[in-house]
Amino acid sequence: MNEMGVNPLVVSHLSRNFGGVRAIDDVSLELKPGERRAIIGTNGAGKTTLFNVVNGQIPPSSGEIHIFGQNATKRPLHARAALGLGRTFQITSLFRSLTVIDNMIIAVQALHPCHFVFWRRAQRYRDVTARAEALLEKWNLADRRNELVKNLSYGTQRQLEIVMALAGEPRLLLLDEPMAGLSAAETHLATDIIVNLDRDITVLLIEHDLAAAFSIADSITAMDQGRIVAEGTPDEIRKESSLQKIYARGGATNS
């Protein structure tokens, strides 16, 4: 399965219009295997639209998306997970009325052959339950196993949000503002999780918290008004004077 040299994500000339508005405008992007790339930009720069088009939630107006060498432009959202794509959501998207372990079981069995079986009990698939338990163990959530997700603290929910995205063993992970709404301590914890991810996993993340973005990413893409305005290592981006103008214009809301 390990196609060395095949880029996990290639986005070419991608555009998306909403009525007369070009939310993203001729965006091209290439991620190398194992790369950690952060997309930064002010509100309305097109980051989330780009994410949703890559993920498959909304179709592009033009352009193409290749995931591990396969043309995914027309694939429905659920079929992209099978290509190795996983994602988290900016607004926590968990199964709130279920327990932590049941959330994990649903996430683990998604790409397991048993996912459509209705004539056997789920408990019988020991490999699924064992993997769900192991993931909770690894990410320090094992003691919350039987709690209902809606009763967890917000920080723990954000943590589970990431761990659930890892359940399908994605090789390309999209993280939509993983630090949104976290306290400083929790941001630290989440940063640790992301930094410690297996290097086989390529990561694309949107992050408003620039300090966090710079500490996680080894390359940065800056967007403004739907276009890519700069791309480079964190050091190069720091020196980019045009960005300071954009952030100054965008006001203090995105600091």
Partner 1 sequence: MNRTSIYAGIFVAIAAVLGAVLSPYDTGLLTQMLIYGIFAMSLDLLLGYTGMPSLGHAAYFGLSGYAAAILTLKLGWGFALAAPAGLLVAVVAAALFHLLALRTAHSYYLMITLAFSQVLWSVAVSWTELTGGDNGLPGVKRPDLGAWLPWSFATTRGFFYFVLIIFVVAAFALYIFVKSPFGYALRGIRDNEMRMRALGYNVWAYKFTVAMVSAFFAGLAGELYMYLNSFISPSSLSVTVSAQVLMMILVGSVGTLFGPVLGAGIFVLLQYVLSTYTDRWLFVIGLIYVGVALYAPEGAFGLIRDRMRTKRSARP
Judged on CB neighbours under 10 Å (0-12, 13-18, 19+), 195 is exposed
**Are 35 and 218 within 8 A, CB to CB?**
yes
Q: Identify which of 34, 35, 39, 42 has the alpha carbon closest to the alpha carbon of residue 50.
A: 39
Question: Minimum Å distance from CB 97 to partner 1?
Answer: 6
Footprint on residues 62-81 left by partner 1 (CB under 8 A): 76-81
Question: Minimum Å distance from CB 95 to partner 1?
Answer: 4
CA torsion through residues 87, 90, 96, 99, sign: positive
Does 105 participate in binding partner 1 (rule CB under 8 A)? yes
Question: Minimum Å distance from CB 78 to partner 1?
Answer: 5
Interacting residue with partner 1 among 110, 148, 189, 193 (CB under 8 A):
110
Does 102 participate in binding partner 1 (rule CB under 8 A)? yes
Does 239 participate in binding partner 1 (rule CB under 8 A)? no
Judged on CB neighbours under 10 Å (0-12, 13-18, 19+), 132 is buried
177 vs 240: CA distance, rounded Å: 23
Interacting residue with partner 1 among 12, 17, 30, 98 (CB under 8 A):
98
Residues forming contacts to partner 1 in the complex (CB under 8 A) are: 55, 57, 76-82, 86-87, 89, 93-98, 102, 105-107, 109-112, 114-123, 125, 128, 164-165, 167-168
